[in-house]
Structure 1
Amino acid sequence: MNDKKQGYIDENAKKPRQHISRLAFLLAGLLIAVTSVSLVFVGFIASRASTQQAVANEKRLFRSTLSDRLRAIVRDQVELTSSDVSVQNLVREFDPDFVRKSFDDLWSEHHLSKVMLISGGDKVLAETFEDYTHIIQRPVNETPGLEIVVDKLRDMYRRNRVRVPGGFGHRSLRGIDQSEYAIMGFLQIDGKPALFGAMPVIPDNHEVTLPDGPPTILLSARYIEDKLLKRLNRQLKFASLTFVNGPGEREIGPFHPVLDQSGEPIGIFQWDSKTISTSIWPTIIPVIAVLSIALAALAFGIAWRIGQLTTSLQMSERQNRYLALHDSLSGLSNRLHFNRMLEASVRSLPARPFAVLHCDLDNFKPVNDTFGHATGDLVIKTVATRLKDAVGDQGLVCRVGGDEFMVIYQGPINKAHLTRLSRMLVASVSDPIFVSEKDSVNVGLSVGVARAPSDGSNAETLVGRSDQALYQSKVKGRGQVSFYSDIREPQTASQMLIRLHETSPRQALGT
């Protein structure tokens, strides 16, 4: 019973901490897993953000390149449109030969797809078809969206027009942005999507002036076809660049939609990005691996140290608990442990009856007085060992005072068995105890027995009645065994209890 109860106490003591080390390693592993997943997630977000940023940069580059191409169209025609000679031959007078020569020069030098001359009366006066210039007069509205371009350019012209002697002129183009005097964008021309630039025909030296009224407009365009796409991509260096007619958006990959002057979609530029195919994962994965390994080493190192500290703490607490519940001299359970186990045994009644054996040494004081306290300690330790061996696993032997012992016995509690057990205890203690090679001492043992639940069903009652039985054994002459149930006279027993409170048995009897 001693080992069983002690194991129960130790188990209760270490249970709150027995899994701390394992928990520390589990938490370390969880931390590593969460961190690794977080790093992978961060890598995914970073990769996605990197791809999005790369696509945004490519779109910005494409818009810039496309804008440059539009500005180039206007720039290519400025020499013709900003000229006194052009005002004279295109506005003041209409010279077909001058028109053909000028349009041929634009087509051959700048590889324009289309050139159109539009009068202030909303008529197309001339337009090119490949390398042929056709002199005609047709309404502007035959080309969808062209009226909007003309109207916008007329408003811009009115803002820039200045009065000069003999008519009107145009403010200088020097130092101002193209968007302040020209219209650039996209149109469907001859059924084909095209980039265009348009500006009014204006004088440069104002030797020839403009008449009052709407301006004459020159429009130049480049069809969006393979030739243009190749030229654009020489600057962009995309994996591929295509144009798709009609409305819609590309679901995957970068694209750039284009609208006509009324805001209607013409088509989309789309390309395959080299940046998208270049993943940053080969860079991120080694970083994640290194960080995870470093974190794992740190976390498991901390967990191992926590495990060490926990083990040390458990050992220390186990030792402290053992010292708190055991007598340091004899190694038996002390009064605190006895009281706890007695309360636990009482709670198990009536299912598990038990007995309380109250034991006290006889003739112990002369041993101390004659041989000294060191010998007395040796006697106590020897008696403790003998009592524990005699009781065995069916009882808990406790030292509750100087030479006072108590036993909680949970084996058979019939009177015959307890009598044999008690006499065995008396006999084992009565054997000589050698305190040196030549000297030995003799002590005796008196025992008082109270049985539960017949003699009491609470701890205080059982202890009191076992003490009364012990007193009876002392009265009978020491080395005796008495049962509380054998005390016949209640009044005498009450008197003995009163005397017991006034003085201990050993004091009363001189032991």
Structure 2
Amino acid sequence: MAANIEKENRGHTARLVRNVWLGCFAFVAAFVGAVYLTVQFAGEAANDISTTRELQLVAFDVQRVADNAIAAQQRIVKSDQLFLETKKPLNDAREFDKLIGLKMAREPFSVFSIIDDESNLVYAETQFSVSAPKDRIKYAQRLITTANDLVQDVYQTFDEMKAPSQDGYVVPSHFLYDEKAMTVFAFRYFDGKLHLIVAQPILAMTSYMRIDSEHPFISVAAIPIPNLYFSQTASQIGMQNLYPAALQDAEMGKTSLLLPNGNLPAAALLEWDATSPKLTILQDATPYLIALLLIILISTILVATKFASVLTTLGLVNRRNRFMARHCGLTNLANRSKFDEMIDKAAKNCHAKPFTLLTIDLDKFKPLNDNFGHAAGDMILVEIAKRYQEAVGEFGTVARVGGDEFMVLLKQNFGRNITQQLAQELVDLSSWPISTPYGELSVGCSIGIANAPKDGRTAPDVMRRADEAMYHSKRQGGSRATFAEDRVTHDDAPAEFQSHAS
């Protein structure tokens, strides 16, 4: 028995040691994975931060371009003289060319136009060989049509800001000196090319000069945006291939920023190849990660070796204690605690799977134990347990539940004849002589048999009926088996009882 327990414990300890090594290597793998994921996360975070920074810088530069265009247009339109020209009657000659011509040469507009309070084109100028002089009116009219929504936005903003004055309107001074008040812009395609279009009212810098109509004159100007327009920004930021593109022409895998388009969906975007600090981080961190991995690996191997040694030392004791908590230390059979769990579980399922319980009490064991001592008694118990276990085999479980008390739980109800044959075999095995230092000793046994659910539907009921049948076997002289289903009386008249094994 000790050898079997030792063998079983060695196998259990070997599994524990193997699990320790697997756990340690799993720890190393998890550590490597965690470091890898951390570096990956750091790299992705660095990429995100870099991309966010680039988006912010590009957005700032787009706004800078728009602000410069607004400022350039304001240098032309924010003029008391130009405002007074708009107040002249339609049949009077307006001197727009005189006031705008010289200024246009210093500004980046390809086309500059003015519409009156009824959205009629009253002035148009082009430069950079955009259009022939005879076609400038048509060119400017196409621009006005393209920017009609921007003009309406200016009208709406003006309605919100204007204040009544006599027979007209004035604009409060704090709006007049706000460069972006009543000014709208959009990046959109005009004549097949990307332009920055700006629309803003023509106002006087003197706040008391009133506007006689519902709406002021509006200037609409356009600046062409070639592919290299933002190249200076790209070189300053360190980005590559920063170009504007139509929305439908956007390339996959590039970082992009939608260009403002008034209140309409974006028609164009800026796209570029985002910088990737992640690769640099991985290259710089690799030597340190390899060194750290070697340190962790060596440390883990040392810890695993020491821990495996401790497990080998403690494994046998720990396993033996767990085994002995549910087994008889002498016979290696299941003890009362384990057997109670087994029969409780079997009783709960007895309707679907009937079972048979045999309660066994050794005959003449106490006199032998008293006369020859506990050593002889232990030898008898060990031999009887061995015989019972070999006889029952895989058909059930044998347990030692008391000093000389045994129980057998058969996995199923094999029928009366087969059960009686097994019971008789156990009776015969109990009677065979047992070799001891004190000579050959023999005992017998009395057996009670109960079937579930016929003789009881709960574990206590089945055990009680088996005990009653076993005690009847005792009263009949022992060395026999009694079925609980037979009529059992409390007297000792053997003529009334027909179920003993003989």
Aligned with residue 34 of structure 1, among 20, 27, 30: 30
In the alignment, what sits opposite 1:449? none
Partner Cα separation in structure 1 for residue 428 and residue 9 of structure 2: 28
Q: What's the CA shift for 1:223?
A: 1.0
Q: What SS does structure 1 have at the residue aligned with 2:264?
A: coil
Q: What's the CA shift for 1:57?
A: 2.5
Note the 1:245-324 alignment, pairs <5 A: 245-258=246-259, 260-261=261-262, 263-275=264-276, 278-286=279-287, 288-314=289-315
Query: Relative to 1, partners in 2 of residues 1:247 and 1:217: Cα closer, same or farther, differing over 3 Å?
Result: same
Aligned with residue 44 of structure 1, among 16, 28, 40: 40
* 1:344 and 2:386 aligned: yes
Q: What's the CA shift for 1:61?
A: 1.9
In the alignment, what sits opposite 1:112? 109
In the alignment, what sits opposite 1:121? 118
Partner Cα separation in structure 2 for residue 463 and residue 177 of structure 1: 117
In the alignment, what sits opposite 1:158? 159
Q: What's the CA shift for 1:55?
A: 1.7
**Residue type matched to 1:257 in 2?**
L
Partner Cα separation in structure 2 for residue 175 and residue 208 of structure 1: 11
**Residue type matched to 2:434 in 1?**
V
Q: What's the CA shift for 1:269?
A: 1.3
Partner Cα separation in structure 1 for residue 282 and residue 308 of structure 2: 37
Once the two structures are superposed, what CA deviation does each residue of 1:259-310 show, in whole Å capped at 9, x if it has no partner? 6446244222111122367543224545544554444344333322221212
**Residue type matched to 1:244 in 2?**
A
Once the two structures are superposed, what CA deviation does each residue of 1:228-279 show, in whole Å capped at 9, x if it has no partner? 2334435544222112235354321201233644624422211112236754
Q: What's the CA shift for 1:120?
A: 1.8
Partner Cα separation in structure 1 for residue 167 and residue 247 of structure 2: 49
Partner Cα separation in structure 2 for residue 260 and residue 335 of structure 1: 103
Query: Relative to 1, partners in 2 of residues 1:232 and 1:314: Cα closer, same or farther, differing over 3 Å?
Result: closer
* 1:69 and 2:65 aligned: yes
Q: What's the CA shift for 1:165?
A: 6.1
Q: Would you say the 8 A contact 2:247–2:267 is kept in 1?
A: yes
Query: Relative to 1, partners in 2 of residues 1:91 and 1:103: Cα closer, same or farther, differing over 3 Å?
Result: farther
Partner Cα separation in structure 1 for residue 152 and residue 261 of structure 2: 14
Query: Relative to 1, partners in 2 of residues 1:273 and 1:176: Cα closer, same or farther, differing over 3 Å?
Result: farther
Q: What's the CA shift for 1:175?
A: 9.0
**Residue type matched to 1:214 in 2?**
H
Partner Cα separation in structure 2 for residue 270 and residue 205 of structure 1: 43
Partner Cα separation in structure 1 for residue 83 and residue 316 of structure 2: 107
Query: Relative to 1, partners in 2 of residues 1:46 and 1:338: Cα closer, same or farther, differing over 3 Å?
Result: farther
Q: What's the CA shift for 1:87?
A: 0.8
In the alignment, what sits opposite 2:97? 99
Query: Relative to 1, partners in 2 of residues 1:256 and 1:186: Cα closer, same or farther, differing over 3 Å?
Result: same
Q: What SS does structure 2 have at the residue aligned with 1:15?
A: helix
Q: What's the CA shift for 1:60?
A: 2.2
Q: What's the CA shift for 1:75?
A: 1.3
Q: Would you say the 8 A contact 2:42–2:278 is kept in 1?
A: no
Query: Relative to 1, partners in 2 of residues 1:167 and 1:7: Cα closer, same or farther, differing over 3 Å?
Result: closer
State the identity %: 12
Query: Relative to 1, partners in 2 of residues 1:468 and 1:195: Cα closer, same or farther, differing over 3 Å?
Result: same
In the alignment, what sits opposite 2:193? 192
Note the 1:93-492 alignment, pairs <5 A: 98-99=96-97, 102-108=100-106, 110-131=107-128, 142-143=142-143, 144-164=145-165, 167-173=168-174, 178-206=179-207, 208-258=209-259, 260-261=261-262, 263-275=264-276, 278-286=279-287, 288-314=289-315, 339-340=381-382, 343-344=385-386, 347-348=389-390, 458=429, 461-463=432-434, 467=438
Query: Relative to 1, partners in 2 of residues 1:196 and 1:317: Cα closer, same or farther, differing over 3 Å?
Result: closer
Q: Would you say the 8 A contact 1:65–1:235 is kept in 2?
A: no
Q: Would you say the 8 A contact 1:84–1:206 is kept in 2?
A: no
Partner Cα separation in structure 1 for residue 264 and residue 154 of structure 2: 17
**Residue type matched to 2:149 in 1?**
I
Query: Relative to 1, partners in 2 of residues 1:73 and 1:335: Cα closer, same or farther, differing over 3 Å?
Result: farther
Q: What SS does structure 1 have at the residue aligned with 2:259?
A: strand
**Residue type matched to 2:103 in 1?**
D
Q: What SS does structure 2 have at the residue aligned with 1:121?
A: coil
Answer with 47-56 or 20-29: which moved more.
47-56
**Residue type matched to 1:247 in 2?**
Q
Query: Relative to 1, partners in 2 of residues 1:300 and 1:466: Cα closer, same or farther, differing over 3 Å?
Result: closer
Partner Cα separation in structure 2 for residue 59 and residue 259 of structure 1: 14
Query: Relative to 1, partners in 2 of residues 1:50 and 1:338: Cα closer, same or farther, differing over 3 Å?
Result: farther
**Residue type matched to 2:51 in 1?**
V
Query: Relative to 1, partners in 2 of residues 1:305 and 1:56: Cα closer, same or farther, differing over 3 Å?
Result: same
**Residue type matched to 1:26 in 2?**
L
Partner Cα separation in structure 1 for residue 274 and residue 319 of structure 2: 69
Query: Relative to 1, partners in 2 of residues 1:469 and 1:342: Cα closer, same or farther, differing over 3 Å?
Result: closer
Aligned with residue 80 of structure 1, among 76, 82, 101: 76
Unpaired stretches in structure 2, ≥5 consecutive residues: 324-328, 331-374, 394-424, 443-502
Q: What SS does structure 1 have at the residue aligned with 2:304?
A: helix
**Residue type matched to 1:155 in 2?**
Q
Query: Relative to 1, partners in 2 of residues 1:178 and 1:125: Cα closer, same or farther, differing over 3 Å?
Result: same
**Residue type matched to 1:89 in 2?**
E
Unpaired stretches in structure 1, ≥5 consecutive residues: 326-332, 352-453, 472-511
**Residue type matched to 1:75 in 2?**
A
Query: Relative to 1, partners in 2 of residues 1:243 and 1:15: Cα closer, same or farther, differing over 3 Å?
Result: same
Once the two structures are superposed, what CA deviation does each residue of 1:446-503 show, in whole Å capped at 9, x if it has no partner? xxxxxxxx9x9536752389856589xxxxxxxxxxxxxxxxxxxxxxxxxxxxxxxx
Q: What SS does structure 2 have at the residue aligned with 1:17?
A: helix
Q: What SS does structure 1 have at the residue aligned with 2:248?
A: coil
Q: What SS does structure 1 have at the residue aligned with 2:37?
A: helix
Partner Cα separation in structure 1 for residue 119 and residue 103 of structure 2: 25
TM-score, normalised to structure 2's length?
0.59
Partner Cα separation in structure 2 for residue 470 and residue 268 of structure 1: 104
Answer with 241-250 or 127-136: which moved more.
127-136
Query: Relative to 1, partners in 2 of residues 1:113 and 1:236: Cα closer, same or farther, differing over 3 Å?
Result: farther
What is the number of residues matched between the two proteins?
357
Q: Would you say the 8 A contact 1:82–1:204 is kept in 2?
A: yes
Partner Cα separation in structure 1 for residue 306 and residue 198 of structure 2: 76
